[in-house]
Structure 1
Amino acid sequence: MSTKPSTAIVRHPLVELTRARLLEFLRDPGAFFWVFVFPMLLAVALGIAFRDGPQTMPGCQTICPPGVSPVGSDPSVRYIDFLIPGLIGLNVMGSCMWGMGYNLVDSRRRKLLKRFAVTPMNRTHYLLSHMVARLVFLVLEVAALLLFGMLVFGLEIRGSVPAVSVVALLGTVAFSGPALLVASRTESTEVASGWMNFVQLPMWVLSGSFFDYQRFPEVVHPLVRLLPLTAMNDSLRGLVNHGDPLWAHGSALLVMAAWGIGGFLLALRIFKWQ
């Protein structure tokens, strides 16, 4: 009795796990709204509110030394041009923290990870699948937001589109590391929510998504630039608003890579299934 060789294609475990993560996203209409629709609504609201630029307080005046222009005084860069890269950075951060970190903790709470522990699944493949799936969606999200800004607000991308894509990919990696780290051992979704808010809140305030972080005292600027959201915002604004080459933001790219790789390796070391 002869047997025919199987025609089934044996895929790499990482491919199958990533496919499962993508299907989970596509089956959740709420996730589509928060990833693609909500940032556009926020851009419309803030774009209308600040269409003429951010307003100063009555009776206040910006005073600069002779020959020095105030930050954000470039007449060719409108507030909406400044805002959209910041919204992209915020959305990438939120999508990674909640879409990856919270889901991992929820899976552990529902004992799903405990079931995975008795399979030959490699934890490296499992954690990487979350990161790769998020990369796929966030690249589409960044493209959608930029296209939306171009069509609705006349946003002009002055730099290289491939360079913008590199920053978007590296930004996703940067936030994936902390997201996986927060979720690596946390068992309660309430505790996870607290930790994720603790991680994100300083960047919401300090990283210059809605206003230039140089308004803060100069002594804190070096620390602010070490935050991954600051690095992503600065890189995107340099590329989109000023046409900078990618290499001009090499230090920011290194900051993002360090957060992503360092966070992932540490999460991999301390991760537990149950």
Structure 2
Amino acid sequence: HQVDMLIEDGKTPAYWINRNAPSGYLLERILWGSGGNHYQKRTVTGDKIRYVDWVLPGVLSFNMMMGCLFGVGYVIVRYRKNGFLKRLKATPLTALEFLMAQMTSRLILMMLISSTVYIGCDFILDFNMQGSYLLLFFTALLGAVCMISLGLLVAAKIASEELAGGLLNLITWPMMILSGVWFSLEGTHPFVQYAAQLLPLTHLVDSARAIMLEGAGLTDIAPHLLILSLMSMSFLLIGAKIFRWE
């Protein structure tokens, strides 16, 4: 997410230098020493982005993911283990209605918690916010729906809390590493970047980061929101299809 120097070779060779980067001065001297005196120097303007500003959208998204997956996953498995779901089977309640109710209750709780954490972090760190708060809230809402749907899918048939915990950890670890929460994936192998696009947390982090740091609008993050919507519907429908009451 930080560029020290950008060089353009063309009819008018030029280079852009990042004065805020510690190695920017050294790179400029290396360019001059290697015969690059004819390159035209151009000034880069813009606000400096702190690492805390860059990493905070990922941390908040990761916190939401953990709360959604483990919160709803363990509850469903515990209901099944205690026989509560078996009693609900005798009612007219369908699996989809039950999962939607669980999603709604967890969604309200997660949005309240995430909003509180966001306000607290903003008060302490005074981080950068360039975009719309309403769009950021909608993005977080859609991301939470996707994560809850994934948690419901995992818990749809499992009756053991130990197995549920293992599967949830198996899901969260790749997302924690490959979704760009702590570091950028630029420069990694193309396969890693492609695999990251298959993870819902990647689209949530990229959307939130684009809104907060770049002031992105709805059309800019529409592909990410569309993917999150499709994932949410797929997880929920598959979970309702394979859901086991007993």
Q: TM class, shorter-chain normalised?
A: 0.7 to 0.9
Q: Does 1:164 align with 2:136?
A: yes
Secondary structure of residue in 2 paired with 1:214: coil
Quick check: 2:4–2:17 contact (8 Å CA) kept in 1?
no
Secondary structure of residue in 2 paired with 1:66: strand
Offset of residue 181 of structure 1: 0.8
Q: Does 1:101 align with 2:73?
A: yes
Offset of residue 131 of structure 1: 0.9
Q: Does 1:173 align with 2:136?
A: no
1:218 corresponds to: 190
Q: Does 1:234 align with 2:206?
A: yes
Structure 1: gaps of 5 or more residues? 1-53, 55-61
Quick check: 2:65–2:147 contact (8 Å CA) kept in 1?
yes
The aligned runs of 1:1-274 (5 Å cut-off) are: 66=7, 76-274=48-246
Structure 2: gaps of 5 or more residues? 9-15, 22-45
Offset of residue 266 of structure 1: 0.1
TM-score (normalised: structure 1): 0.72
Larger Rg over CA atoms: 2
Q: C-alpha separation between the residues in 1 aligned to 2:149 and 2:17?
A: 37
Offset of residue 75 of structure 1: 5.4
Q: C-alpha separation between the residues in 1 aligned to 2:153 and 2:202?
A: 20
Offset of residue 208 of structure 1: 1.0
Quick check: 1:160–1:239 contact (8 Å CA) kept in 2?
yes
Structure with bigger strand share is 2
2:13 corresponds to: none
1:8 corresponds to: none
Q: C-alpha separation between the residues in 2 aligned to 1:63 and 1:88?
A: 28
C-alpha distance 157-64 of structure 1, shift in aligned 2 (>3 A): closer
C-alpha distance 105-69 of structure 1, shift in aligned 2 (>3 A): farther
Quick check: 1:227–1:255 contact (8 Å CA) kept in 2?
no
TM-score (normalised: structure 2): 0.80
Pairwise CA RMSD of aligned residues?
2.3
Offset of residue 168 of structure 1: 0.7
Q: C-alpha separation between the residues in 2 aligned to 1:65 and 1:161?
A: 33
C-alpha distance 215-103 of structure 1, shift in aligned 2 (>3 A): farther
**What letter corresponds to residue 171 of structure 2 in structure 1?**
V
Q: C-alpha separation between the residues in 1 aligned to 2:111 and 2:219?
A: 20
Q: C-alpha separation between the residues in 1 aligned to 2:179 and 2:5?
A: 23
**What letter corresponds to residue 255 of structure 1 in structure 2?**
I
Secondary structure of residue in 2 paired with 1:213: coil
| Number of residue pairs aligned between Structure 1 and Structure 2 | 213
Offset of residue 120 of structure 1: 2.1
Offset of residue 260 of structure 1: 0.9
Offset of residue 63 of structure 1: 7.9
Q: C-alpha separation between the residues in 1 aligned to 2:92 and 2:127?
A: 49
Offset of residue 215 of structure 1: 4.5
C-alpha distance 219-120 of structure 1, shift in aligned 2 (>3 A): closer
